[in-house]
Amino acid sequence: MRGDRQPPLATGGGDRGVEEFNSLMQGFSVALTYHNLLYMLVGILLGVLIGVLPGLGGANGVAILLPLTFTMPPTSAIIMLSCIYWGALFGGAITSILFNIPGEPWSVATTFDGHPMAKTGRAGEALTAAFTSSFVGALVAVIMITFLAPLVAKFSLKFGPPEFFAVQLLTFCSFVGLGKGHPAKTISAMMLGFALAAVGLDTVTGTLRMTFGTTELLRGFNFLIAVIGLFGIGEILLTMEEGLAFKGVHARINPRVVWHTWKQLPKYWLTALRATLIGCWMGITPGGATPASFMSYGIAKRFSKTGEKFGTGEIEGVIAPETAAHAAGTSALLPMLTLGIPGSPTAAVLLGGLLIWGLQPGPLLFVEQKEFVWGLIASMYIGNVVGLIIVLTTVPWWAAILRVPFSIIAPVIVVICAIGAYTVNNAMLDVVLMLVFGVVGYLFKKLDYPLAPMVLALVLGDMAESSFRQSMLLSRGEVSIFWSNGLVGSICGLAMLMLFWPVISKLLQHMRRGNNDLDEARPVE
């Protein structure tokens, strides 16, 4: 099933669907080589391990392993790293259901019904439902990427610097509009990311910024260090505070349970469809997998016939968040590949990887690096199938890992983080900075400062700055360039709507309440 399946009209190019299909088949021929399949397998296994262990997650797991891939061919490297991401998405469900401990933030909503199911002896059923619905969510998202990404890329080829800056502005304003935290804190976290990104050598003018005469700060703050510290060390500190004792439910999955669960899943197609739509939407706009899973759970609860039983072990309560989380996690790669704007922290780390491997993410990637892009997209199909099979067959082993006491796991994770931080630049200062970021991560998490916008700003800082500067050069310093034509104007308008959404929604609520004083029962969100 190598490249020979591709139909002979590759040069015709008339029909868009056919063109995508051909490119995808070529991608499969890239992804299905022995060594790429091996990297895929290693990636999934590492990913599930990372997803199961507290303190190691998709973002910092990929960040730690990124330096080891610098010497690999970029296509193999991204296949392995994205498979780590899929594995982590699968792995999060295992700990949520068996141990009531979300291994990943996006699997918190899975604990609500997954763990009660496990406690009543339906662990196998819950796990099968979780894995299968994750798989379905991811599959739909990948199909969407296959057909939508080339269109978006083609469309954005027309983008100039003002349009790119407008899209970046929209990304960051969406955090304010869609995020659950207080707008002041979201903005603070984001701007802190931008400020840290500005430290070091300014590549346009060659000026040193905020280095204060030190040579160590010349390189600037590497986002990988920030990710390892914020998500790794910060998470360990938080976990320790909670004084976790891992008490889990034993689970066995046999083909009979899997078959039995699969038979009842089609009943919930509507829940899965809603969850997928929410997931894809939240993944493309930088909402990310975590809010998507919560939102999907909430909506499933409201629309389900058995909504009042949610929380006691309803299979629908597992399907909804898992489908949405996986769909969001996957579709976060769409804006990363086509516009160079990641939809999630892990996608941001992968984007940083692209830059390190010398690939410029954005619309040109689809023109110049066809093999890379389609190899990656094909690997998403295969990776998720392989992932589903692996997690279904190996659950007991992963559960056994969590029975290793935290007093062994914690120091080992700190050691792994330290090595990961050191290997980024072979610098000890980075290891110290990792600890500092760990404290920042702990404080920010406890004070409800969102970490995702900070990481994204740190990754995108240079790019956003250069598109802003280029726009200013074009317009000779006139800000009006950002509403000079319909396209850039509407993106900026949307961005402003997002930025002021917290204020607007409050005003709307006020008006509604003013009109109808009796309508007090309406829940205020």
| Least distance (Å) between residue 45 CB and other proteins | 15
Q: Pattern 461-480, binding to other proteins, x per CB under 8 A?
A: ----x--xx--xx---x---
Cα→Cα distances 413→57, 141, 186, 235, 375, Å: 11, 32, 28, 10, 32
| Least distance (Å) between residue 240 CB and other proteins | 5
d(CA 200, CA 214): 10
Q: State the DSSP string of 4-35.
A: GGS-GGGGT--SHHHHHHHHHHHHHHHHTSHH
* Residue closer to other proteins (CB basis): 99 or 442: 442
Q: Give the ranges where 32-107 is alpha helix by DSSP (H).
A: 34-52, 58-65, 74-99
Comparing C-alpha atoms, which of 54, 108, 60 is closest to residue 322? 108
In the numeric block, the tokens 């004083």 are attached to: 517
Residues 60-79 that bind other proteins (CB under 8 A): 67-68
* Residue closer to other proteins (CB basis): 402 or 418: 418
| Least distance (Å) between residue 217 CB and other proteins | 11
Residues 418-437 that bind other proteins (CB under 8 A): 418-419, 422-423, 426, 428, 431-432, 435
CB 246, CB 406: distance < 8 Å: yes
| Least distance (Å) between residue 28 CB and other proteins | 29
| Least distance (Å) between residue 214 CB and other proteins | 13
Q: 195, 265, 401, 497: which one contacts other proteins (CB under 8 A)? A: 195
| Least distance (Å) between residue 439 CB and other proteins | 7
Q: 405, 503, 508, 513: which one contacts other proteins (CB under 8 A)? A: 405
Buried b (16+ CB within 10 A) or exposed e, 484-507: eeeebeebbebbeebbebbeeeee
| Least distance (Å) between residue 80 CB and other proteins | 14
> Percent helix, strand and coil across the chain, each rounded to 5?
75, 0, 20
| Least distance (Å) between residue 143 CB and other proteins | 36
Residues 217-236 that bind other proteins (CB under 8 A): 233, 236
Residues 438-457 that bind other proteins (CB under 8 A): 438-439, 442-444, 446-447, 449
d(CA 60, CA 222): 13
Query: How far is C-alpha 410 from the chain's CA centre?
Result: 24
In the numeric block, the tokens 């609500």 are attached to: 112
* Residue closer to other proteins (CB basis): 387 or 420: 420
| Least distance (Å) between residue 400 CB and other proteins | 16
| Least distance (Å) between residue 168 CB and other proteins | 12
| 210 CB-side CA count, 13 A | 10
Residues 167-186 that bind other proteins (CB under 8 A): 182, 184-185
Strands, E assignment, 109-252: 200-201, 208-209
| Least distance (Å) between residue 202 CB and other proteins | 4
Q: Which stretch binds other proteins (CB under 8 A): 22-30, 31-39, 312-320, 404-412?
A: 404-412
Q: 14, 243, 266, 514: which one contacts other proteins (CB under 8 A)? A: 243
Give yes or no for residue 151 binding other proteins (CB under 8 A).
no
Which H helix or E strand runs over 133? helix 123-156
Give yes or no for residue 119 binding other proteins (CB under 8 A).
no
Q: State the DSSP string of 362-380.
A: STTHHHH-HHHHHHHHHHH
| 315 CB-side CA count, 13 A | 22
* Residue closer to other proteins (CB basis): 87 or 438: 438
Torsion of CA 325, 327, 328, 333, to 10 degrees: 140
CB 437, CB 225: distance < 8 Å: yes
Rg (CA), the chain: 23
- Interface residues with other proteins (CB under 8 A)? 67-68, 182, 184-185, 187-188, 191-192, 194-195, 198, 202, 204-205, 207-210, 233, 236-237, 240-241, 243, 405-408, 410-412, 414-415, 418-419, 422-423, 426, 428, 431-432, 435, 438-439, 442-444, 446-447, 449, 465, 468-469, 472-473, 477
